[in-house]
Amino acid sequence: MQSSLTNYRQSPRKVRLVADLIKGKTVKNALSELDLLPKRASLPLKKLILSAVANAKNNNKVDADKLVVKDMRVDKGIVMKRMMPRARGSGFQIKKRTSHIHVVLGEIEGSKIEKKKK
């Protein structure tokens, strides 16, 4: 029950801010929090979680209400290097960073769901 997004064109440092907020939450809570978050990385992360939920439903026949974001990892992707002209004919290097994002969903045990409903 996992999904991944490779070479997302935003720096890992900025994506980790969003990823750390939703780690360990239920899928329903994570999706509602991503809807209200004003960060650029929230929409791709929402799509990635929805993809992982679809994988869980198709492959493992798991109910979406019983899923929790077990692990969300943001790794460094490729770095595109560009040049910008500077004074006296020199050049300044611009690094355009990318991210690899991995989401792992897990199931909540039955006793935890009953406690939350009460």
Q: What is the residue-level pLDDT of the chain in tens, covering all 118 positions?
A: 899 999 999 999 999 999 999 999 999 999 999 999 999 999 999 999 999 999 999 999 999 899 999 999 999 999 999 999 999 999 999 999 999 999 999 998 764 555 555 5
For residue 104, give the DSSP letter.
E
The CA-atom distances, in angstroms, between 105 and each of 42, 66, 67, 93 are 17, 10, 6, 39
Q: What angle do CA 2, 97, 104 make, to 5 degrees?
A: 10
Which among 64, 95, 63 is positioned nearest to 78, based on CA atoms? Answer: 95
Strand order in the sheet with 2-8: 2-8, 91-107, 67-85
* pTM score: 0.86
Give me the pLDDT at residue 109, please: 76
Give me the pLDDT at residue 115, please: 54
Asked if 16 and 73 touch (Cβ cutoff 8 Å), the reply is no
User: CATH number of the domain that 27 lies in?
Assistant: 3.90.470.10
What is the residue range of 32's domain?
Answer: 2-117
Specify the number of domains making up the chain. Answer: 1
